[in-house]
């Protein structure tokens, strides 16, 4: 269940209960909406340990969000997020570790936590981890960014279990709130000003668009313009 299972809106909760491999092995799972951002729909009760909790979480999320629901194995370990900007080539802004102020084995970076982040968590940039692990996380983030066709900016989330980074998801439109968004906090701790971050993202988009316009003067104009629009539009 490392890759998770996507429960489509028309599927019955019983389908998911038939696929609860991790729960039957004594593990836990995370249940969350597939199409949201900023931890919308991810609350502490989305961490489930048994079939009844899974059924309850699925029913509530399907009712409230009316979209596919993602069921993932819960990876116990450090919460890491990687900021990436640019296109050719993309570059890592930094790696940030999110640490709960009250240590717990089952920490979830939930909506409740993000709304109270100043009291509940602290951030490390760079993370106090061996350099080889940080490099592995950076390389995995860049690979995910490129394989998934991200452009200009993204934030890539991982869980670190032992020495192994487990990819969770990529946010191709990360929040840019100057006070509370993870990418902005990460960049600030890495020595970037807010203005520098915004300017870098905007410049990457402008450079990409200008290159595409130049290419579009040739016979493949339609294909070039479609590529420029990318997943953001």
Q: Which CATH architecture has domain 5-73?
A: 2-Layer Sandwich (3.30)
Cα→Cα distances 113→31, 38, 47, Å: 17, 11, 14
Average pLDDT of the segment spanning 58-76: 89
Q: Output the pLDDT for position 128.
A: 97
Give the integer Cα–Cα distance in Å for 43 and 132. 32
Q: Output the pLDDT for position 147.
A: 95
Complete edge-to-edge strand list for the sheet that includes strand 5-7: 5-7, 69-73, 29-33, 47-48
- Model confidence, pTM: 0.84
| Tens of pLDDT, residues 138-163 | 999 999 999 999 999 999 999 999 99
Sorting pLDDT into bands at 50, 70 and 90, what band is 231?
A: low
Give start-end residues of each CATH 3.30.470.20 domain in the chain.
Answer: 78-199
Q: Which CATH architecture has domain 78-199?
A: 2-Layer Sandwich (3.30)
Whether the Cβ atoms of residue 76 and residue 161 lie closer than 8 Å to each other? yes
Whether the Cβ atoms of residue 72 and residue 1 lie closer than 8 Å to each other? yes
Whether the Cβ atoms of residue 84 and residue 146 lie closer than 8 Å to each other? no
Examine the pLDDT at 3 and tell me if it is beyond 70: no
- Could you give the angle at which helices 194-215 and 182-189 cross, rounded to 10 degrees? 110
| Tens of pLDDT, residues 98-140 | 999 998 889 999 999 999 999 999 999 999 999 999 999 999 9
Q: Output the pLDDT for position 221.
A: 59
DSSP class of 69: E
Both tokens of residue 199?
Answer: 């300017």
Q: Output the pLDDT for position 233.
A: 42
Residue 32 pairs with which residues in a beta bridge?
70
| Tens of pLDDT, residues 197-226 | 999 999 999 999 998 888 877 666 555 556
**Three-state secondary structure call for residue 35:** coil
Whether the Cβ atoms of residue 74 and residue 29 lie closer than 8 Å to each other? yes
List the alpha helices (DSSP H) in the chain: 13-17, 21-24, 51-65, 111-115, 117-120, 131-147, 182-189, 194-215, 221-229
Tokens 């950076």 correspond to 138
| Tens of pLDDT, residues 8-50 | 555 555 545 545 666 766 689 899 998 887 788 898 889 999 9
Give start-end residues of each CATH 3.30.1490 domain in the chain.
Answer: 5-73
């Amino acid at each position: 269940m490392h890759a998770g299972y996507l429960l489509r809106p028309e599927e019955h909760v019983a389908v998911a209960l038939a696929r609860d491999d991790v729960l039957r092995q004594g593990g836990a799972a995370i249940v969350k909406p597939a199409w949201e951002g900023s931890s919308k729909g991810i609350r502490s009760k989305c961490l489930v340990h048994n079939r009844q909790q899974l059924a309850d979480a699925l029913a509530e999320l399907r009712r409230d969000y009316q979209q596919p629901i993602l069921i993932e194995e819960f990876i116990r370990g450090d919460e890491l997020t990687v900021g990436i900007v640019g296109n050719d080539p993309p570059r890592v802004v930094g790696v940030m570790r999110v640490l709960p102020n009250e240590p717990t084995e089952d920490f979830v970076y939930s909506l409740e936590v993000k709304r109270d982040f100043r009291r509940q968590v602290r951030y490390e940039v760079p993370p106090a981890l061996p350099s080889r692990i940080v490099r592995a996380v950076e390389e995995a983030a860049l690979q995910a960014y490129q394989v998934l066709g991200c452009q200009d900016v993204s934030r890539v989330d991982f869980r670190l279990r032992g020495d192994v980074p487990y990819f969770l998801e990529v946010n191709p439109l990360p929040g840019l709130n100057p006070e509370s968004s993870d990418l902005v906090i990460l960049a600030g701790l890495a020595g970037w000003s807010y203005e520098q971050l915004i300017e870098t993202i905007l410049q990457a988009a402008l450079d990409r668009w200008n290159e595409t316009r130049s290419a579009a003067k040739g016979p493949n104009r339609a294909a070039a313009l479609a590529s420029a629009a990318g997943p953001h539009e």
